[in-house]
Amino acid sequence: MKRYVYEIRNIDCAQCAKHLETAISRIKGFENVSYNFATMKLTFETERTDDFFPDLKRAVYNTEPDAQIIHDNSQHRTRKKFFTLDLILFLVGAIIGFVGYLVPMPVTAKIVLISIGMCLLLYKTAYKAGVQLFKNKNIGENFLITIAVLGTFGLGLFNTIVEEGYQALGEGIEECLMVIVLYSIGKMLESSVLASSRKSISNLMEIQPDFAMLVHGDHEHKVPPQDVKIGSIIKVRPGERVALDGVVKSGSASVDISHLTGESLPISMSKGSKILAGTILLDGVLEIETTSLYTESAVARIMDLIDNANDKKSKTETFINKFSKWYTLIVIGLAVIVFFGAWALGYPITTGIYYALILLFISCPCAFAISVPLAYFSALGRASKDGILIKGSNYLDISAKVSKVIFDKTGTLTTGQFVVKDIISLDTKYSTQDILKFAVLGEQNSIHPIARAIQHRGHGIKLENVSNFVENSGKGVSYTYKGDVVFVGNISRDSTDDLTSVQVIINDKPIGKILLADSLKANSVELCEYLKKQNVKLAMLSGDNKQVTSHVAEMLGIDEFKSGLTPEQKYTLLEEDLKNKNKDEYIAFVGDGINDAPSLSRADLGISMGLAGSPATVEASDIVVVDDDPGKIKDLHKLSKYTRGIVWSNIIFALVTKIVIIVLELCGVFSEGMLVAVFADVGVTLLAIINSLRLLKYNFGKKKAKGEKIVTIKEQSAH
């Protein structure tokens, strides 16, 4: 099944976007349809091999008549002319309408000119309302506004004929003209603000490279990043983005990784440094050997996570979508009740109609339908700029309500960057170099942090073939070398040196041990202190021995911890916590290795540390911290709580404002009822949008400077 991506522009409300998504889902053979209101991207999957574009076009235009469909790989592209056309229709309609109202002339001529002006101003809204109603059976904002404006004009025409006897314009004509003019201005402002917000979100996430400079001997030529194979050499110059993940083969440079990790300070890259796609060179020239295809690169994975974030909506956003669906029908029902209520109380029929129309106008759901998804997507975009990739707004909501966080230890709270401190021989037959060689032969294929430290220390030792190689997860490895059975493992805490110890055993006899030291990550202590202040429970599950785990837990203030665990045991303990928690509690698991993938997938919220890590870990998690910094979890928690505050302030503000104005209108407080209704609709929507956009500028606070001296756990405990 092939996945397609189209850009569909000129969708100006989230409710319209939902109707569009529903209509496209009904196309034969289309599955997993999703339209992202903030990025304007439509994604779907289909096995159809025929030309399905006419079906897509029909579904789109039957739902949104002035939509603009764009596909990078097709000729189906239209000019961006809608805003200009809207402005022309508005200016011509407003001029004709006000000439008819202000210039002295016969009443009939006034009504004709005002009618022409009103038709030009209302044309787009009425046309969309008709298409949506008759072709797609949708009743939404366009329908409510059209009925309200035409109804008010009809009342004004009735008053002109009956009450004024065609001697003057009746009450309602002036109001109708002012309402549609102010509404049109408001909608254009709304579209402009929405376009600006979309551009701001797009700029936050604009990390895709335009090209790759492929090197062949002495020749260089630009190619699309998608065409570069693994093992190719690409050259990057100052001001250019790195097109693919790779390793620096030659050159040195300062680079900007702020778009990937949020780190504001430049870092240095030189021969042997790993570098991610999307990195910007500030100076120098680098030649890089690519280690991944573009589709597997850091930048492609980031963009994919962002594009698919819309698939997993928060409960609040889902509720608003369902609420908006029924809201319009409820409002129409209330308008009918208001009409009959006024009539039953003895008011003129025109008064009942007038207040029913005001209710229709005030109650348009745009303020909810636009501001809520926009707030969530602004937060997702802001988080991505700080190096926090959130796969859906639902995970942002869960993060704000997490009651317990369970951490893996190595590579999550500690750097996992072990350093060999000492090698001890326990048998005079073997030197320390022999001990190191046996360990290197056993760990030569492992990617475990301790194994990498041993490999690094044993760099230069000739690797020889071994037989009967067996790996016991969480325990160690055994193999046969020159007739002897060698075991490397039983990682434990050395009681004398307070270091991590790896045993080397030959034929069941210990012959030596290698002592290593790990270090806490710079922001681990700060994170744990913050979470405890937020009344979030902390726990740590580690495969390391009890002494090491206890020591780390003590420094971080974590009271609940387990040691010596296999991945299966970690999963089982997490499962028990999930079964015993209350319904309104959420448990997060934070890990970094492939062995953490099952727990990351099972937790209410799985947070993986490092985008460059195991693809299985990134896939299993709900949130990815790109640069492996535990301090970003604090940022995530603060942003999620701030986002919920913005969302609920928008909902409460819009709801309370509309209810208050409706009550005051029905009590006759406002003399210009319809003009106040315009504010209750368009004005409230604009204010809610502006409030949502505050998330784009959210400040996480001052970051700690990078490049601080790495302090080992032993050194930290000495302080």
Whether 516 has a pLDDT exceeding 90, the answer reads: no
Distance CA 95, CA 118 (A): 10
Both 184 and 219 in one domain: the answer is no
Question: How, if at all, do strands 286-290 and 233-236 pair?
Answer: antiparallel
Q: What CATH number is attached to the domain comprising 73?
A: 3.30.70.100
Both 197 and 216 in one domain: the answer is no
Provide the sign of the torsion angle of the four alpha carbons 578, 580, 585, 589, taken in this order: negative
Q: What is the predicted pLDDT for the residue at 310?
A: 54
In a domain, 658, yes or no: yes
Written as one letter, the residue type at 508 is D
**What band does 204 get if pLDDT is binned at 50, 70 and 90?**
low
Q: What is the predicted pLDDT for the residue at 519?
A: 77
Q: What is the predicted pLDDT for the residue at 492?
A: 62
Q: What is the predicted pLDDT for the residue at 614?
A: 64
Q: What is the predicted pLDDT for the residue at 715?
A: 43
Both 591 and 680 in one domain: the answer is no
Residues 129-141, mean pLDDT to the nearest whole number: 75
Is the CB of residue 499 less than 8 Å from the CB of residue 421?
yes
% of the chain surpassing 90 pLDDT: 20
Whether 195 has a pLDDT exceeding 90, the answer reads: no
Q: 676 versus 528: which is more confidently predicted?
A: 528
In a domain, 713, yes or no: no
Most confident among 50-64, 148-162, 323-337, 426-440 (mean pLDDT): 426-440
Q: 641 versus 87: which is more confidently predicted?
A: 641
Residue ending a domain, among 467, 488, 517, is 517
Both 411 and 525 in one domain: the answer is yes
Q: How deeply is 652 buried, as exposed, middle or buried, from its count of CB atoms within 10 A (0-12, 13-18, 19+)?
A: exposed
Distance CA 571, CA 567 (A): 6
**What band does 367 get if pLDDT is binned at 50, 70 and 90?**
confident
Q: What is the predicted pLDDT for the residue at 116?
A: 93
Q: How deeply is 467 buried, as exposed, middle or buried, from its count of CB atoms within 10 A (0-12, 13-18, 19+)?
A: exposed
Angle at 434 between CA 429 and CA 435, to 5 degrees: 95
Whether 713 has a pLDDT exceeding 50, the answer reads: no
Distance CA 268, CA 260 (A): 15
Whether 72 has a pLDDT exceeding 50, the answer reads: yes
In a domain, 381, yes or no: no
Whether 142 has a pLDDT exceeding 70, the answer reads: yes
In a domain, 706, yes or no: no
In a domain, 711, yes or no: no
186 Cβ neighbours under 8 A, 6+ residues apart: 678, 681, 682, 683, 685, 686
Q: What CATH number is attached to the domain comprising 427?
A: 3.40.1110.10
Dihedral angle computed from the Cα positions of residues 394, 396, 397 and 402, in that order, rounded to the nearest 10 degrees: 120
Both 540 and 402 in one domain: the answer is yes
653 Cβ neighbours under 8 A, 6+ residues apart: 684, 687, 688, 691
Q: What CATH number is attached to the domain comprising 218?
A: 2.70.150.10
Q: What is the predicted pLDDT for the residue at 376?
A: 84
In a domain, 636, yes or no: no
Distances from the Cα of 69 to the Cαs of 76, 82, 204, 247, 614, in angstroms? 7, 13, 24, 40, 37
Q: How far is CA 512 from the centre of its chain?
A: 50
Residue ending a domain, among 275, 306, 337, is 306
Q: What is the predicted pLDDT for the residue at 627?
A: 81
The catalytic site residues sit at: 408
Mean pLDDT across the chain? 81
Both 472 and 510 in one domain: the answer is yes
Q: What is the predicted pLDDT for the residue at 714?
A: 43
Residue ending a domain, among 517, 537, 559, is 517
Angle at 453 between CA 448 and CA 455, to 5 degrees: 90
Q: What CATH number is attached to the domain comprising 581?
A: 3.40.50.1000
Q: What is the predicted pLDDT for the residue at 203?
A: 60
Strand, helix or coil at 279? coil
Whether 406 has a pLDDT exceeding 80, the answer reads: yes
- Of the ranges 50-54, 284-288, 403-407, 615-619, which one carries the lowest mean pLDDT score? 615-619
User: Which range marks the domain in which residue 476 is found?
Assistant: 419-517
Both 528 and 410 in one domain: the answer is yes
Residues 161-177, mean pLDDT to the nearest whole number: 78
Q: What is the predicted pLDDT for the residue at 74?
A: 41
Both 513 and 526 in one domain: the answer is no
Q: What is the predicted pLDDT for the residue at 669?
A: 66
Dihedral angle computed from the Cα positions of residues 647, 652, 657 and 663, in that order, rounded to the nearest 10 degrees: 150
Most confident among 39-43, 84-88, 251-255, 618-622 (mean pLDDT): 251-255
| Total structural domains within the chain | 5
Q: What is the predicted pLDDT for the residue at 706?
A: 43
Q: What is the pLDDT of residues 240-291, one digit of tens each?
A: 889 888 999 999 888 887 666 655 567 888 888 888 888 888 888 999 999 9
Both 531 and 548 in one domain: the answer is yes
Residues 10-39, mean pLDDT to the nearest whole number: 79
Both 190 and 90 in one domain: the answer is yes
Whether 10 has a pLDDT exceeding 80, the answer reads: no
Distance CA 615, CA 669 (A): 62
Both 410 and 533 in one domain: the answer is yes
Instruction: Point out which residues pair with 500 in neighbouring strands.
Output: 493, 516
- Of the ranges 6-20, 547-561, 641-655, 680-694, which one carries the lowest mean pLDDT score? 6-20
Q: How far is CA 153 from the centre of its chain?
A: 45
Residues 620-647, mean pLDDT to the nearest whole number: 90
In a domain, 401, yes or no: yes
Q: What is the predicted pLDDT for the residue at 261?
A: 63
Q: What is the predicted pLDDT for the residue at 688?
A: 86
Both 302 and 320 in one domain: the answer is no
In a domain, 462, yes or no: yes
Whether 621 has a pLDDT exceeding 90, the answer reads: no
**What band does 409 get if pLDDT is binned at 50, 70 and 90?**
confident
pTM to 2 decimal places: 0.67
**What band does 473 get if pLDDT is binned at 50, 70 and 90?**
low
**What band does 705 get if pLDDT is binned at 50, 70 and 90?**
very low
Q: What is the pLDDT of residues 542-553, one digit of tens each?
A: 887 787 788 889
Q: How far is CA 690 from the centre of its chain?
A: 19
Distance CA 554, CA 87 (A): 66
Instruction: Report which of 537, 543, 552 is spatially closest to residue 588, judged by C-alpha positions.
Output: 537
Token pair belonging to 614: 């195991």
Q: What is the predicted pLDDT for the residue at 707?
A: 40
Distances from the Cα of 517 to the Cαs of 161, 450, 493, 566, in angstroms? 93, 9, 10, 21
